C-alpha cells in the first residue's frame, strides 16, 4: 500500500510504500480507498496544535470513499464489494483495534480510520455503506465537512426558522453550514472570511451577506445592522483563531449560541466576558456536529439525489496522493474550499 506518513511534526509528509498486516483482527475492514478530503484537523495534527504527538510516525486523514476488499471476524454492517464512506465519527458496528503498518522495519501507527493512503485497515464503525451509483469523488464530503456542518446547524446550534446566523470562515465546513442554514430558513445568513474568492463563492451556498474582515471597516457594526443591535442568534467560528472567537462571542445575542468548530492552538489565550453564560447565552465546542454517520449519511444522499442539497463545486482543488504536500500547501493559503486527494 502507498501512504503519506507524518514522520515529524511541522515537516512535509513522506509518501512511501508500507507493508499491511496479512490478517484482519476482530472488527477490522480492508478498504481500497479511491478519494480523500483534507480537513483542518489534519493541519492541526501536522503542526502539533494540540501538543506533543506521541504516536509518530503515523498516518492521517479522516474523510474518504472506497470499496471494501475484505472483512474481518465479527463484521456485519459492510461486506466485500460495498462502496463506503470513511468517517472519523463513530457509527454502527464494532470499534476495532487501530491498525499498525510496517515501513523500513519501523511500526507506523494509524487510528480507527486513515485516508491519506490507497489502501487501509479501518474499524467497522468508521464506515457507512452508500449506493453504488453515488459519485465516489463527492462521497468523502460525507466523512466530515457535510455531516459536521449539518450537525452544527441541527444539533449544536439548533438553528430555528428565521433565526440569524454569522459564520466566520467559509471554507469547506463553513460553506456547508451556510447551505444547511438556508435549508432550515435561517435569516439572515452572514459569512465572514479574508479571501475574496471564497466570499464570492459563498453566495452560491446560501450566504445572504458576506464580508472580508480585512477590508471591511467597522465589521461588528456592519453585522449588527443586519442582525439587530442585540446580536445574532447563532455565531459559528470555523477558524480557531482567538481574536475571531472573541468577536464571534461578542456578536452573539444574550440569548444566543456561539459554536466553536475551529480549534485554537494549545496555549492560545481567549478573553471573554463570562457573565452572560450564567443566564441564557451558550458557548459550545462542536465535536463533529455530534453527527451519527450511519443515520445521517443516507438522509443527506437522498437530499443530494433530489436536488435539495448540492456538493459539486465544494472541491476547489484536486491532487494525486503523490502531491500530498502541494495539496496541503493549497489548503494553507486559505484560497481553497475543500481539497481532494485522488488515489
**Is the domain of 114 the same as that of 201?**
no
State mean pLDDT over 165-186: 96
**Is the domain of 152 the same as that of 282?**
yes
What's the pLDDT tens digit per position in 127-151?
Answer: 999 999 999 999 999 999 999 999 9
**Is the domain of 178 the same as that of 245?**
yes
Q: Which grid coordinates belong to 242?
A: 482567538
Higher-confidence position of 115 and 52: 115
**Residue 310, C-beta contacts closer than 8 angstroms, at least 6 positions apart:** 179, 205, 304
- Find the CATH number of the domain harbouring 268: 3.40.50.720
**How many independent structural domains does the chain possess?**
2
Flag whether pLDDT at 267 surpasses 90: no
**Is the domain of 230 the same as that of 332?**
no
Q: Is 285 exposed, middle or buried (0-12, 13-18, 19+ CB in 10 A)?
A: exposed
Examine residue 195 and state whether it is found in any structural domain, yes or no: yes
**Is the domain of 78 the same as that of 121?**
yes
**Is the domain of 282 the same as that of 326?**
no
Examine residue 300 and state whether it is found in any structural domain, yes or no: no
**Is the domain of 61 the same as that of 106?**
yes
Give the pLDDT score at 23.
Answer: 96
**Is the domain of 128 the same as that of 157?**
no
> Alpha-carbon torsion 200, 201, 202, 207, what sign?
positive
**Is the domain of 156 the same as that of 284?**
yes
Flag whether pLDDT at 48 surpasses 90: no
Give the pLDDT score at 190.
Answer: 98
Examine residue 152 and state whether it is found in any structural domain, yes or no: yes
**Residue 112, C-beta contacts closer than 8 angstroms, at least 6 positions apart:** 88, 90, 95, 96, 98, 122, 123, 125, 126
Of the candidates 126, 41, 144, which has an alpha carbon nearest to the alpha carbon of residue 90? 126
Give the pLDDT score at 142.
Answer: 97
DSSP, collapsed to helix, strand or coil, labels residue 133 as coil
Q: Which domain holds residue 48?
A: 2-138+312-342
**Is the domain of 58 the same as that of 12?**
yes
Examine residue 88 and state whether it is found in any structural domain, yes or no: yes
**Is the domain of 15 the same as that of 132?**
yes
Flag whether pLDDT at 274 surpasses 90: yes
**Is the domain of 121 the same as that of 248?**
no
State mean pLDDT over 96-109: 96
Mean pLDDT, the chain, integer: 96
pLDDT classification of 40: cutoffs 50, 70, 90: confident
State mean pLDDT over 183-211: 96
Give the pLDDT score at 60.
Answer: 97
- Find the CATH number of the domain harbouring 94: 3.90.180.10
Examine residue 295 and state whether it is found in any structural domain, yes or no: no
Give the pLDDT score at 320.
Answer: 98
Examine residue 296 and state whether it is found in any structural domain, yes or no: no
Examine residue 299 and state whether it is found in any structural domain, yes or no: no
Flag whether pLDDT at 119 surpasses 90: yes
State mean pLDDT over 233-242: 97
What's the pLDDT tens digit per position in 322-342?
Answer: 999 999 999 888 878 789 999
Examine residue 165 and state whether it is found in any structural domain, yes or no: yes
Flag whether pLDDT at 49 surpasses 90: no
pTM: 0.93
Amino acid at each position: 500500500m502507498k501512504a503519506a506518513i507524518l514522520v515529524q511534526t511541522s515537516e512535509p509528509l513522506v509518501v512511501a510504500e508500507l507493508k499491511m498486516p496479512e490478517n484482519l483482527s476482530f472488527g477490522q475492514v480492508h478498504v481500497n480507498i479511491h478519494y480523500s478530503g483534507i480537513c483542518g484537523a489534519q493541519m492541526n495534527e501536522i503542526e502539533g496544535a494540540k501538543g506533543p504527538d506521541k504516536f509518530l510516525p503515523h498516518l492521517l486523514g479522516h474523510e474518504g470513499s472506497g470499496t471494501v476488499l475484505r472483512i474481518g471476524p465479527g463484521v456485519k454492517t459492510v461486506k466485500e464489494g460495498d462502496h463506503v464512506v470513511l468517517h472519523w465519527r463513530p457509527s454502527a458496528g464494532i470499534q476495532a483495534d487501530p491498525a499498525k503498518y510496517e515501513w523500513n522495519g519501523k511500526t507506523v501507527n494509524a487510528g480507527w480510520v486513515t485516508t491519506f493512503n490507497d489502501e487501509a485497515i479501518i474499524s467497522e464503525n468508521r464506515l457507512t455503506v452508500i449506493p453504488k451509483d453515488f459519485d465516489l469523488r463527492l462521497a468523502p464530503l460525507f466523512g466530515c465537512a457535510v455531516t459536521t456542518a449539518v450537525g452544527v446547524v441541527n444539533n449544536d446550534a439548533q438553528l430555528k426558522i428565521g433565526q440569524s446566523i454569522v459564520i466566520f470562515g467559509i471554507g469547506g465546513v463553513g460553506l456547508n453550514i451556510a447551505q444547511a442554514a438556508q435549508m432550515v430558513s435561517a435569516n439572515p445568513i452572514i459569512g465572514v472570511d479574508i479571501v475574496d474568492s471564497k466570499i464570492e463563492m459563498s453566495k452560491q451556498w446560501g450566504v445572504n451577506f458576506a464580508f472580508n474582515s480585512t477590508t471591511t471597516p467597522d465589521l461588528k457594526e456592519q453585522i449588527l445592522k443586519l442582525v439587530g443591535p442585540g446580536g445574532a442568534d447563532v455565531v459559528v467560528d470555523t477558524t480557531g483563531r482567538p481574536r475571531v472567537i472573541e468577536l464571534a462571542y461578542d456578536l452573539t445575542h444574550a440569548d444566543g449560541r456561539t459554536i466553536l468548530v475551529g480549534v485554537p492552538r494549545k496555549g492560545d489565550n481567549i478573553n471573554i466576558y463570562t457573565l452572560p453564560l450564567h443566564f441564557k447565552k451558550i458557548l459550545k465546542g462542536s465535536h463533529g456536529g455530534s453527527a451519527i454517520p450511519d443515520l445521517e449519511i443516507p438522509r443527506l444522499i437522498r437530499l443530494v439525489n433530489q436536488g435539495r442539497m448540492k456538493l459539486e463545486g465544494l472541491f476547489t482543488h484536486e491532487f494525486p496522493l503523490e502531491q500530498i504536500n502541494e495539496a496541503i500547501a493549497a489548503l494553507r493559503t486559505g484560497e481553497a474550499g475543500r481539497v481532494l486527494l485522488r488515489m
